[in-house]
A and B are shown apart, each in its own frame.
Chain A
Amino acid sequence: MSGATEGVQLEEQIARWREYLRRNRAIDSPDVAELEDHLRNQVGELSSAGLTGDEAFLIAVKRLGSLDALSLEFGREHTERLWKQLVLPTDADQSRAQVHEMLVVLVLAVAAAVAIKLPGLFGLGFNQNENFYARNLSLFVLPILTGYFAWKRRLDAVTCVWLSLAFVGAGLLANVYPFSRHSDTLELTALHMPIALWLVVGIAYVGGHWSANGGRMNFVRFSGELFIYYVLIALGGGVLTAFTMMMFKAIGLQAGWLASDWLVPCGGVAAVIVGSWLVEAKQSVIENMAPVLTKLFTPLFTLVLLAFLATMVLTGRAISVERDVLIAFDVLLALVVALTLYAASARDVNAPPDIFDKLQLTLMVSALLVDALALAAITARISEFGFTPNRVAALGENLILLVSLAGSAWLYAQFLRHRGSFAAVEHWQIAYLPAYSVWAALVVALFPPLFGYR
């Protein structure tokens, strides 16, 4: 072996070793540089004593000590490093890109805040126009969020046009329908519009490649994390609002208008943008919270459902069919679907079935049972109640969630009996995602005319 190729080989070995070391949280990059200097000194000395590059490298690495022991010692000295922090990278190029992105996010967040205040300039204040804001709320923020991802993922012009058309269409539907003043279909529009448009955000999130491998599951992960960040930001915002009111009260001024007209609406929409950016930025830094909550709550929900079923059997009580009981079962199914989805999002597809998977199946089957009981009770009496828009929407949602859950449960059972793979479960859940948005879009587009804008 010539000296030159040996040198190249050594550099490769050191580069691999460096990469390996960098993955360790307790050892930061200046430490790696310091240890590398040590390693090179040692290798140099051993080589000049007549060892080949390979031998010298092996001995030098061995003398540094095992990585486990080393990282334990470093971790003991630098305990703070075991807490992951969101820091801007020190690398000049990278940090410039990050600062640039922060500026873009800031501008977009301000744009969302301005957008929600803009109608006020034309005499549409928050107080007298609840209906206008209810049906348009998602249109103030989701186009901007979509814009952020379009910018970040460098979407091509054609996709951008299609996505904007979706928002324009949604805006038209929400505003040209002649809803009556206290209309149920208007409430349905307000509720379903964000669900329908979330799919548009998703298409931008995956960079226009909806069917690309892994993209949709990432969007599911993103949605869960965004929800959690949003709740946290909202909590902080609540503290800020309460604090503002208290301080101004101390000098005899009522700041209620400041909170209700500015802090809450502007903060509420801006937080969606900022939260999305945080999820993107912290992706690799912090543990995903949604799967952690899933792991925590799956056993608890299973217990509650089993207890509920057992109580029904033991006491012989039937589900009392009241007017809005369907909503409760929709919520139940949605929760269980979310629990299975987020459990799947954090699961290694190739891992064999374990106890948690059995629990998951128990949860799904008991939810299906409970829902079947409720559906049986309701359909028997639906003609008695009449088909109001709310009831039809709730029934449709129930069926959609039921099919989703039944499919997951069936594939899960196959997987647990080693007749199928977990990938099939995941594939089903992912492929089913657009159904929720499509149904929501149908509710927004068809229900108002079908039910005479009641």
Chain B
Amino acid sequence: MDLGKDLVAASATPLVLAILAEGDSYGYAIIKRVATLSAGHLKWTDGMLYPVLHRLERQGLVSMKWGESDSGRKRKYYRITKSGRLLLVTQQQQWQVVDETLRGVWIKA
């Protein structure tokens, strides 16, 4: 099942923030994590994650630091910030409202 573009875009911010809330990570690992969590249903074009991460960084929701991979190459790591965690909490509440509302309708139907 492929998700619509708008839904993918809308879920990107809470998803990335939630994954980073589990611990610092980098682009490739985040994409892997998304694939595992959604059992492959949420498909991102890999490259598109990076502009999203850069936007979150500009908004001060994540911070980034250059580090090294196991093989010694440069790698950019991202960490969620305090305001990122705050936003994640509100987003969680908002998505729950959406989720509950939809459930209410669909169970009746």
**Residues on A facing B (Cβ under 8 Å):** 30-31, 33-35, 37-38, 40-42, 63-65, 69-70, 73-74, 76-78
Contact = CB atoms under 8 A, between A and B. Distances in A.
B82 interface: no
Interface of B: 26-28, 31, 45-48, 50-51, 54-55, 58, 69, 73-76
Contacts of B50: 31, 34-35, 38, 74
B31 to A, nearest CB: 8
Contact of B47 (A37, A70, A76, A77): A70
Main secondary structure of the interface of B (DSSP, over half): helix
B45 A37 contact: no
A42 B28 contact: yes
Contact of B45 (A30, A64, A77): A64
A40 B47 contact: no
B55 A77 contact: yes
B51 A37 contact: no
Contacts of A30: 76
A34 B45 contact: no
Contacts of A76: 51
Contacts of B26: 37
Contact of A37 (B55, B58, B73): B73
Contacts of B55: 77
Contacts of A38: 27-28, 31, 46-47, 50
A78 B47 CA distance: 15
Q: Which 8 A-B pairs have the closest CB atoms?
A: A65-B45, A65-B47, A41-B28, A64-B47, A73-B51, A77-B51, A70-B47, A63-B46
A77 B28 CA distance: 20
B74 A37 contact: yes
Contacts, number: 55
B20 to A, nearest CB: 16
Contact of A35 (B45, B47, B58): B47
B34 to A, nearest CB: 13
A42 B106 CA distance: 39
B27 A78 contact: no
Nearest to B29: A41
Contacts of A77: 51, 54-55, 58
A7 to B, nearest CB: 13
A11 B26 CA distance: 22
A107 to B, nearest CB: 38
User: Of A31, A34, A78, which is in contact with the most chain B CB atoms at under 10 Å from its CB?
Assistant: A34
A264 to B, nearest CB: 45
17 contacts: A31-B50, A34-B27, A35-B47, A37-B76, A38-B27, A38-B28, A38-B46, A38-B47, A38-B50, A42-B28, A63-B45, A70-B48, A73-B47, A73-B51, A74-B51, A74-B54, A77-B54
A64 B74 CA distance: 19
A365 to B, nearest CB: 52
Contact of B74 (A33, A65, A74): A33
A65 B58 contact: no
A60 to B, nearest CB: 8
Contacts of A78: 54
B43 to A, nearest CB: 10
User: Of B31, B47, B51, which is in contact with the most chain A CB atoms at under 10 Å from its CB?
Assistant: B47
A77 B73 CA distance: 26
